[in-house]
Structure 1
Amino acid sequence: MTSLKRKDFRLRMLLGLGQTAQVYLAEAPDGQKVALKLPRKEVRQDPRLAERFAREVSLSLSLKHPHLVQGLYGIPFGEEAFLALEYLEEGTLEERLLKGPLNQEEAMRALLQVGQALLFLHEKGFLHQDVKPSNVFVGDGIYKLGDLGTVRPLAEASLEYAGSPHYLAPELFLGAKPSPKSDAYSFGVMAYELLVGKRPFRGETLEELRNAHLFLPPP
């Protein structure tokens, strides 16, 4: 998918360390700053996880929208597997919220832009499955939906949900298949959080969150 290799990027600093990948701020040969995602060895060697990373590479490079984090370069499989993404200098929306709530105008701007990206995915026949502030990336007045590792074609939606319990639609706790409606629910939870300053439902455990989403009235 690209003539560049992992070794062609100069690592600057670690941005994030997850269960499946490490993400670095890196510099491409042309000097461009990128977020360089490197899958862990166990991911590269596990057929199911390797296929998931390869799908993320393919979708990140092929799906183009002003408010989706854009893939720039990538190799899907093998020891040299990587994904270079555009770097948004202000981090994630979750990190931004730790500094204090957004004003209403800024919250509406974020929701409009992320909503456009989510609608684009749905119109293309895909589900995101994990809409939440930590998967929204922030630049100078711009918000982009990222982390396409959970994206699936609607026709391939399975009973194994990929979302985060704080933002998960009630029907998914009951074993229903993900759908555009479940993505919309997650978006709605995030919208409430941005506009009100807290999540609509709280819980310390998966069971508490399940019961809150299923049985508590909307706030």
Structure 2
Amino acid sequence: MFNSAQKRTPPQVYVTPRYRTTQSEYQSSNSERLFEKSKDNSMNQLKILQQIGYGKFSKVMLSMFNGEKFALKIINKSCTMKTQTTSLLQREMQIMKQLNHPNIVKLYKEFSDDKNVYLLLEYCNQGSLFNQKFDQTQIKQIIKEVLLALKYLHSQGIMHRDIKPENIYLHNNHVKLGDFGIAQYIKKKSKSFCGTLDYMAPEVIRQNYYDNRIDIWSVGILTYELNNLQPPIKDRDQQIQMRRIISEEVQYPRHFDDKLKNFIQKCLKKRCEERATIDELLNDEFLHS
């Protein structure tokens, strides 16, 4: 089983929200009335149990429907319109509807009422990787399954753009990659400054055109953080942190062995064309030792 870890400071967030696991303080006494005006009559039978997460314009509720548990993401329409992020929400739904992979959170249904958009999602019974600690065997399994999810995602012409512990969930000890709020189609050139700074590739910070290789960079950061409980480059001053990510080489703790360091180094090449491919990483000796 996966073991709980002590709390740590969450990553700095630019576009994407922090995710928090189930806590009783988020229970809502009015939650069961959310669907009285739903346009989808079948969803009126959905029972809301408690809040298990939140975002900048959304919250995530543990729900029951036909005897099964689901995660219900509720997005406020007026907030997305005010911040001109409606197109991002539409793209998130479009992308999730086309995905079908055992290591990716599944979208079962989307519907709306006058105030909100609702996404009925696969429920992951062990929450996110955030604030959890894992041994080496578990970390290798997690990274392998994240890579398998990304290999499928990239084959569908999509880059995630926000790989981090808060967006990776566990269900029955298996990875489920989620939160596609800023995912983008690879064929569309992008140089948007978005994501979580701790996990941003240098080309994103520079606002150069980039592609799905930014996800490979994030896998390297993720591997480092799972083994050390903090990202490799961190600074209270965000401008200094950005300069360090662009120019500074990663320093490794003494407890990192050579196979682990070599794996991370293959991901954290400043020049994106020098980064390892997903297949190369899946065959790397670190994951098979």
The TM-score, its normalising length taken from structure 1, stands at 0.89
Structure 1 position 182, deviation (Å): 1.1
Separation in structure 2 between the aligned mates of residue 108 and residue 155 of structure 1, nearest angstrom: 31
1:23-172 correspondence runs (5 A): 23-28=60-65, 30-43=66-79, 45-46=81-82, 48-75=84-111, 79=115, 81-96=117-132, 101-172=133-204
1:212 corresponding residue in structure 2: 244
Structure 1 position 45, deviation (Å): 3.7
Q: Aligned pairs, how many?
A: 213
1:16 corresponding residue in structure 2: 53
Distance change >3 Å, CA 212–CA 137, structure 1 → 2: same
SS in structure 2 of the partner of residue 93 of structure 1? coil
Structure 1's unaligned 5+ residue stretches are none
Return the structure number with greater helix share.
1
Distance change >3 Å, CA 82–CA 153, structure 1 → 2: same
Letter in 1 for 2:169: F
Letter in 2 for 1:107: I
Letter in 1 for 2:64: E
Alpha carbons 2:125, 2:170 under 8 Å: kept: yes
Letter in 2 for 1:67: N
Structure 1 position 178, deviation (Å): 3.1
Distance change >3 Å, CA 198–CA 46, structure 1 → 2: closer
SS in structure 1 of the partner of residue 161 of structure 2? coil
The structure with the largest alpha-carbon Rg is 2
Runs of 4+ residues over 6 Å off in structure 1: none
CA deviations over 1:150-188 (Å, ceiling 9, x no partner):
111112242213210000001111111231211110111
Separation in structure 1 between the aligned mates of residue 226 and residue 109 of structure 2, nearest angstrom: 32
Letter in 2 for 1:49: T
Separation in structure 1 between the aligned mates of residue 229 and residue 88 of structure 2, nearest angstrom: 34
Distance change >3 Å, CA 7–CA 22, structure 1 → 2: farther
Separation in structure 2 between the aligned mates of residue 206 and residue 76 of structure 1, nearest angstrom: 37
